[in-house]
Amino acid sequence: MIKPLLLLLASGLAAGAAHAGQMNVSVTDKDGKPTPDVVVLIDTASKVAPRPAAAPVVIAQESLKFAPFLTIVPVGSTLRFVNKDGYDHHVRSTPSGPLGSMPAVKSFELRLDAAEGAAPTVVDDYKVTPYRKKSGTTSVDVKVDQPGPIGLGCHIHSSMRGQVYVSATPFFAKTDANGIATIDGVPDGAIELNLWHPDQLQEQATQRLQMGAAPVNASAQLNFTPRRRRS
């Protein structure tokens, strides 16, 4: 009589331990304003290695910008740089941070030809200089196998700035225009919440929280106020 009951209890406990929940994080800057493009990372007590993205993650070069500005991928993923402009780009990795103090975890230089069929874009502020030697491609893949930041720039257009963050944890998100990040599937138990912003000079404080049955709503504040990006 007792044995089946114990088995039932044991399986119930196992199911409980495997429960996962949602974490909502609201991020503000030092002045209390909601801050977009913040990397939010959650580390769990028992480290979970992320699975690489199933397909290449596209970062477009469009209208002299990287789109999106900030891309977060799990370690081992492949980035796909795609030129959608009617002129060449020469994309390169750069250090991150206001003083370029954080070296890129992956170094590359990619020559991307003008997209075929794209109308040559008229840009008032910049001289668009075509490369003499064509690379013969508008798209290049780069595999990222080390966690950390990769700044993005362009040899031809110095105003082009972008950012990649390669995550060592599968639980990550970036904050939206309202400073909100939502991360699903976070296992129950103790977690550490960390923030990273491309403009930070110092590391951000770690928050220790507890995941349970209900979604957890957390708030976090950067220890500085990033300069607004021109959009």
One residue of 35, 37, 75, 89 binding Cu ion per CB under 5 A: 89
Instruction: Give the containing element (helix H, strand E) for 74.
Output: strand 70-74
- Which residue, among 9, 19, 14, has the nearest Cα to 189 in the 3D structure? 19
DSSP state of 34: B
Residue 157 lies near Cu ion (rule: CB under 5 A)? yes
CB 68 within 8 A of CB 161: no
DSSP state of 186: E
Residue 152 lies near Cu ion (rule: CB under 5 A)? no
In the complex, the smallest distance separating the C-beta of residue 156 from Cu ion, rounded to whole angstroms, is 4
Residue 111 lies near Cu ion (rule: CB under 5 A)? no
One residue of 42, 57, 152, 154 binding Cu ion per CB under 5 A: 154
One residue of 156, 186, 191, 211 binding Cu ion per CB under 5 A: 156
Q: For Cu ion, give the closer residue by CB, 156 or 195.
A: 156
Can you tell me which residue has the tokens 């031809």?
156
Residue 150 lies near Cu ion (rule: CB under 5 A)? no
Q: For Cu ion, give the closer residue by CB, 65 or 174.
A: 65
- Binding mask 39-78 toward Cu ion (x if CB under 5 A, else -) reads ----------------------------------------
d(CA 225, CA 32): 9
CB 178 within 8 A of CB 38: no
Can you tell me which residue has the tokens 């990619």?
110
Contact positions vs Cu ion (CB under 5 A): 89, 154, 156-157
